[in-house]
A and B are shown apart, each in its own frame.
Chain A
Amino acid sequence: MSRDAILGRIREALSVKTDAHVREVAKQSSHSLPVLANGPDGRTQAVKEFLPFVGESLEDHIAAFNVLSDKLQTEFIVVPTIDSARQTLDQLRQKHQWERVGIHDHELVQSCVDQLPVEFLNTSSNYDAHELEKCDVGISGCDALIAQTASALVTNHSAGGRALSVLPPHHVVVADASQMVTTMADGFAMIREKHHEKWPSFISFITGPSRTADIERVLVLGAHGPKKLTIIMISE
């Protein structure tokens, strides 16, 4: 079978050890900088020690998230309570004239949208993608907010499937301050814990609204996905 044939060829190829000099070059640094232990733990540590530093406290994380969000053109709004999140959503509804809103079964999302005077489409069970395409906005939860990259980490469970967060022209994420973590590795660890290795089939880091610069390097938002991304974080 092909599987055996390919794995066999790989084993045969690897029976000759990598040239020592080539292997050494990849490890050398002309700057005599710290090198962590090889292997997975070293790499997880590298994410903390070598990648951009965003502080330890929640305030630091919010500040870092803010700076990057500005650059990314993500609208990042910190509100004190669920009530104020409701108000914020209602203001957004008026501003953008939402009529149809995609949502899903998610405690935080449900309690934030329960008074919105709009038509809802719930994507938590079978739904029609054509209908979702007609929605003005998709409102979803998330698993974590990542301070180092200003990303929202979502799965099919936390974001109402694969399409709710990408098909409508505007995506709104509601999150809780306890969901703010430092690195992407912390985010993975959270999902690992929550699902006990029964992984969702879809996980995604969403970092800003959809974009392209394929024409003369000019930045255009909303290439195929949402033109707008709003992240509302409830701090209390």
Chain B
Amino acid sequence: MSQSTNPTTQFQTDANRVTADVDRRSFLRSSLRGYQTTRDATQERFLNYESARIAAGDAKWEAIENLDVYLAQFADKLEARGATVHWCSDSAEARDAILDIIKKHDAKSVIKSKCMTTEEIHLNDLLEKEGFEVVESDLGEFIVQLRDEAPYHFVFPAMHLKKEEINTLFQEKLKSINTDDPEELTMVAREVLRQKYLSADIGISGANFGVAETGMISITENEGNARLTTSLPKVHIALMGIEKIIPRLEDLALMLPMLATAGTGQHLTCYNSQLGGPRQDDESDGPVEMHVVLLDNHRTRLLADPEQRDALRCIRCGACLNVCPIFKNVGGHTYGTTYQGPIGSVITPHLRGLKDWKHLSHSSSLCGACSETCPVKIDLHHHLLRNRRDAAGKGQGGLAERTLMLGFTIVMRRPWLYRLTGRLGKLGHVLTKPIHGTRIDPFYAWKKTRDLDDPAKQSFKQYWKSRK
């Protein structure tokens, strides 16, 4: 990833590079095909999956449209049970809040379970700079952390890597044995991380849901690393975006199976834990302190958009990435965002500025596969269109786009000019044929990867007139 260049250029460069890597692309595709097969089988078991989506979507609508009430309730309940709630407007505030807690406890080492929100606020960089040892405990996250890379996919962080590459990595960084057996590799990581749980002073987790009614966070996982992270260290910090709220505890009975089915194709993931407060008086273990750090970081800006607040209902299952033809071709790192794929393309312009991130709205074929697959029915591909509209409306389309659109308007308003353009187009096609796809072709940028069919002998208008 080229960090210094602007996001649009970086996207272009990386997309070109990744699409040319046919081997990696087919590796990705076959892994996503596996996901699809498992998911289809699980979805089959539902009595009525479509209706379940609507009901799940409804839970999140209720939460988002009454977020002020539910969020306050969530915080009050948690505090009543001895947890501390920190309200943070932006990344810097959240980082400071977390750093303060760690310093107050004179902690040395921090163990983390999977939390995309910590990626959003670049927590690891800060903690490492401050001299703390920070270890990611989710296997995929652990692997990308060793590689000094960002997660490739917010649900499958290391999906781009082959077992041979992980073998090399482990040998190099962990002095492990030479093996490319996934089971043995997993056990290597298990052994390394076991000791870390037992010695870590602080456990940091994310939250998949925040239950307003009871003041609990809910964490979904398969490995058990989040359970260990929230059980053994004496302090537990959970970082959570304010949109993660759901109204009632029983809503989880619907949301958790939906998240698993869409996310990995499992009917339920291995551990779904609800944590409400630190160790209570009548309990024998658990952290003595629990801190919940609530993060706004421009989510309220997205909430203020009456159309696109829809996207705050996202439960981060990752399904829209798995079905996206763009994701499959350009891969996760190309996005250069914390949240990749269609949902990332929708929300990043709101969270980080439309000007720099509007190109993501164009990294879509508008096929609608994302909206079709989303377990809470977010209208993703239309939001991409809305972002395009907003960018154009703000005059951010750029000179080329504006000129093109001006030309289009002039032509479309004048039938004679339209006819003339059609004829010139045909002529141009014939004339540029010998240089098609070469650099002197005036339409090189477009034609280098595309073939253009010869135009029909008859125009549509001529055909229409000659019918019958």
Contacts and interface: CB of A to CB of B under 8 A. Distances in A.
Interface stretch (B56-64, B340-348, B420-428): B56-64
Contacts of A50: 46-49, 51-52, 55
A188 B250 contact: yes
A53 B46 CA distance: 7
B247 A44 contact: no
Interface stretch (B280-288, B324-332, B455-463): B280-288
Interface in A214-231: 214-218, 220, 222-226
Contact of A7 (B72, B166, B198, B251): B72
Interface stretch (A21-29, A75-83, A87-95): A21-29
A38 B58 contact: yes
Interface in B174-224: 182-183, 185-187, 189-190, 193-194, 198, 214, 216, 222-224
Interface string B347-380: 0000000000000000000000000000011110
A201 B283 contact: yes
B47 A51 contact: yes
A35 B87 contact: no
A154 to B, nearest CB: 9
Contacts of B250: 40, 43-44, 47, 185, 188-189
Given A6-B242, A26-B310, A201-B286, A163 B231 contact: yes
A220 B186 contact: yes
Nearest to A151: B268
A96 B382 CA distance: 56
Interface in B247-293: 247-254, 256-257, 264, 267-280, 282-286, 290
A42 interface: yes
B225 A207 contact: no
Interface residues of A, number: 95
Interface in A159-208: 160-163, 166-167, 183-185, 187-189, 192, 197, 199-208
Interface string A32-49: 011110111011101101
Among A31, A46, A124, A130, find the residue whose CB has the most chain B CB atoms closer than 10 A. Answer: A46
A216 B162 contact: yes
Contact of B50 (A33, A38, A53, A210): A33
Interface stretch (A10-18, A108-116, A135-143): A10-18
B247 to A, nearest CB: 6
Contacts of A124: 284
Contacts of B55: 35-36, 42-43, 46, 50
Given A22-B307, A27-B54, A211 B46 contact: no
B112 to A, nearest CB: 13
Contacts of A214: 138-140, 143, 156-159, 186
A175 B363 CA distance: 52
A184 B51 contact: no
Given A2-B89, A6-B296, A129 B232 contact: yes
A207 B270 CA distance: 5
B48 A125 contact: no
A199 B276 contact: yes
B51 A210 contact: no
Contacts of A44: 250, 253-254
Contact of A184 (B31, B81, B253, B285): B253
Contacts of B467: none
A91 to B, nearest CB: 26
B182 A52 contact: no
B228 A166 contact: yes
A36 B50 CA distance: 12
Interface in B291-338: 294, 296, 300-301, 303-304, 306-307, 309-310
14 contacts: A18-B306, A26-B379, A40-B251, A50-B55, A51-B46, A126-B284, A127-B285, A156-B284, A161-B286, A167-B232, A199-B216, A216-B182, A218-B163, A224-B137
Across the A-B interface, the 7 shortest Cβ-Cβ residue pairs: A225-B224, A223-B223, A185-B253, A184-B253, A46-B55, A13-B304, A2-B87
Interface of A: 1-3, 5-7, 9-14, 16-19, 22-23, 25-27, 29, 31, 33-36, 38-40, 42-44, 46-47, 49-53, 68, 104, 123-127, 129-130, 133, 148-149, 151, 156-157, 160-163, 166-167, 183-185, 187-189, 192, 197, 199-218, 220, 222-226
Given A33-B51, A125-B284, A215-B139, 19 more contacts: A9-B296, A18-B309, A23-B61, A26-B57, A34-B51, A39-B58, A39-B62, A50-B48, A130-B198, A156-B285, A167-B228, A187-B253, A203-B216, A213-B222, A215-B161, A220-B183, A220-B186, A223-B189, A224-B225
Interface of B: 31, 34-35, 45-52, 54-59, 61-62, 65-68, 71-72, 75, 81, 85-89, 93, 137-140, 143, 156-159, 161-163, 166, 182-183, 185-187, 189-190, 193-194, 198, 214, 216, 222-225, 227-228, 230-232, 242, 247-254, 256-257, 264, 267-280, 282-286, 290, 294, 296, 300-301, 303-304, 306-307, 309-310, 376-379, 382
